[in-house]
Amino acid sequence: MAIGQFGLALEQALKRSGDTREKAGLIVHADASLVGKIAKGTRKPSHPVMKAAAEHYDDGQLFLAAAAEVTGGAFAPWLDNVDLHRASVLLKSLEEIQEVRDASGIAPISKTNEQINETERQQIKLLLMETVEAITALTHLAAAICKEYSFSWLSTWKEHRAELKLKNYMK
C-alpha cells in the first residue's frame, strides 16, 4: 500500500467536516505538522492516529483507508474515480451481485482443489474475482447510505458484529 491513501482520506474528511489540521491534531493526539505530513503522504500514520481519526470522523472512506493501510491493501479499496451517488452505487452493486450469481453457476466449487482441472480453476478464479468486486461495490453502498442518511459507519459495524455473535456465527 502506498503511503498516502489514509492521508488523502483524512484530508478529505477534514474538508467535509471543516476541521483544520490543528483540530485534527488534537483529535489524534499529534501536532498539526504530523497531520500535514500524513495528509501529504510523506509520513505513514500510526495505528493509534488512524484509529482516533477514523472513530472521530466516523467516515467510511477513512475506515477503508485505515483497513487498507493496516492490511497492506488486502481490503476493499476506496474508489475515487467513480460516481459515488447512492443510486449509482446501488445499481453497480446489483450488477456485481448478478455477476457473482452468473459465475457461481459455472464454477465447480463442489470439487476439491485436487479434483479440478485448469479450466475449472479459472472458473473458480472468476467467481472469486466477481465476489471481491461485489464486496467492493457493497462496501461503497454501505458508505454512501451512511453518509447520505447520517448513519454511523462504526455503529453499523458494531451492530452487525453483535448480531453475528447472537447468532453464534462468531465468539
Q: What is the pLDDT of residue 1?
A: 40
Overall pTM surpassing 0.85 (yes/no): yes
Q: What is the pLDDT of residue 5?
A: 87
Top-tier CATH class for 5-71: mainly alpha
| Residues 158 and 107: beta-carbon distance below 8 Å | no
Burial of 35 (C-beta count, 10 Å sphere; 0-12/13-18/19+): buried
Residue pLDDT tens, the chain, 171 long: 455 789 999 999 999 999 999 999 999 999 999 999 999 989 999 999 999 999 999 999 999 999 999 999 999 999 989 999 999 999 999 999 999 999 999 999 999 999 999 999 999 999 999 999 999 999 999 999 999 999 999 999 999 999 999 999 999
Q: What is the pLDDT of residue 3?
A: 54
Among 44, 50, 10, 9, residue whose Cα is nearest residue 28: 50
Among 105, 107, 102, 101, residue whose Cα is nearest residue 125: 107
Q: What is the pLDDT of residue 121?
A: 98
Spell out the domain ranges in the chain. Answer: 5-71, 86-166
Q: What is the pLDDT of residue 54?
A: 96
